[in-house]
Amino acid sequence: MTVRRVFLCVLLLLSASASRLEGRPFPPLYPGPLFERAIESASATPAEGRVTGLITPHHLLAADLIAAGFAMIKERDLDRIIILTPDHYHRGRTIFSVPGRDFLTALGPVPLDREGVERLKKLILVGESNLFSHEHGVQALLPFVARLFPGVPVLPVAIGTRSGPEDWRELGAALAPLAGEGALVVTDGVFSAEGEIAKLDEIVPIVKKHSARLFVDDAHALGVIGPGGKGSAAHFGLVDQVDLIGGTFSKSMASIGGWLVGDRKVLDYIRHFAPSYLFAASAAPPSVAAAMEAFAVMQEEPWRIDKLRENFTYMRDELRRLGFELGKTETAVIPIYIRQDLRTLRVWRELLEDYGIYTNPFISPGVPPKNAMLRTSYMATHERTHLDRGLEAFEKVGKKYGVIS
């Protein structure tokens, strides 16, 4: 009877202790003089340009190195500090752990980024934990944060040893919106295999909401969609909302090389630091001249874009009438889904060798399994007789290999 009462008392004491601690900050783990000396003696030249992260030791034998790292960015205006640390003592019950309380340090308080914590906790992989009370991978950094970045909230994430690459990618995707400015979203304007148009009217608001930047690859959109063939951003009326638009001369320009449109400062930076520019020779003058002339023709002869749209609309409608599966294409790129890799190659070869019709075969791993296809593309200079001859060939070969009935 006595044992039971003692055990019950212990449980009640533990419960009362837990309730008192709930909501209270984690207490300081280390005394202050070590951190103060390291901060006072730190000499580091402020980093130039944008800094997206630091890699620092967390062992206090290297306190001077930690202080030097933070000193490089102490003048920055930060919204939050994300700390990624191993779960050294394997105390987390989930793959990733986050705290639920603020922190006290010998150099002052450090608030928790509660918005970030709640966002991460929506993932099944993430759970709240008290492991941060003695997690030195975080506690060794917090006094520096308290002194050099007072009031800036922290988002510590303890990474469990059971985590793997897929888990890290999922965590990275969840952290990306919290990283603020500096994220670059890259998308095709027209997807080169399926012919679908990227929904920039839906993408742009999300990009702006998270203060990110947007780069649109319009290789397959220039000269195809938008007023005057100006591309996907013009198609949606969002040219001034896209940070960079680029593409190649090798599609509608029928030349060699590439192009990029954006702010002057950004383009100057790319010219000086892009790896493709280093030790590269200038584009060949004939290639540049040919591309410029093609662009002039595009502007002076808008009927070509109208003719192109007429041609690919006709082919899309007729191929569907024959029974081919085309997906959601909206442009001059029209995929014909064959689904089986070997059958795709057989259809491709027969179209080329017996009918003189060239298509682009896409098989796994270039596309997901059972998504094998032939990509077909069309031009303004195709006449109706060309298109009808192609339809006749597609029908014969399609029926022969059981693609259509």
Q: Which CATH code fits 20-179? A: 3.40.830.10
* CATH fit for domain 303-400, picks 1.20.1730.10, 3.40.50.10310, 3.90.1150.10, 3.90.480.20: 3.90.1150.10
Residue 13's pLDDT band (cuts 50, 70, 90): very low
Tell me the range of 90-104, 133-147, 201-215, 309-323 where mean pLDDT is highest.
309-323
Q: pTM (2 decimals)?
A: 0.58
Residue 383's pLDDT band (cuts 50, 70, 90): very high
pLDDT score of 182: 56
Rounded to an integer, the average pLDDT of 322-347 is 95
pLDDT score of 47: 65
Give the residue carrying structure tokens 């693609």. 403
Distances (CA, A) of 324 to 128, 129, 230, 309, 399: 52, 55, 30, 20, 10
Position 292: which residue type?
M
Q: How much is the mean pLDDT over the chain?
A: 85
* Least confident residue range of 95-99, 190-194, 305-309, 374-378: 190-194
In the chain, domain spans: 20-179, 184-299, 303-400
Provide the CATH topology of domain 184-299.
Answer: Aspartate Aminotransferase; domain 2 (3.40.640)
Tell me the range of 175-184, 260-269, 278-287, 392-401 where mean pLDDT is highest.
392-401
Taking the C-alpha atoms of residue 333 and residue 192, their distance in angstroms, rounded to an integer, is 7
* Least confident residue range of 118-122, 162-166, 183-187, 330-334: 183-187
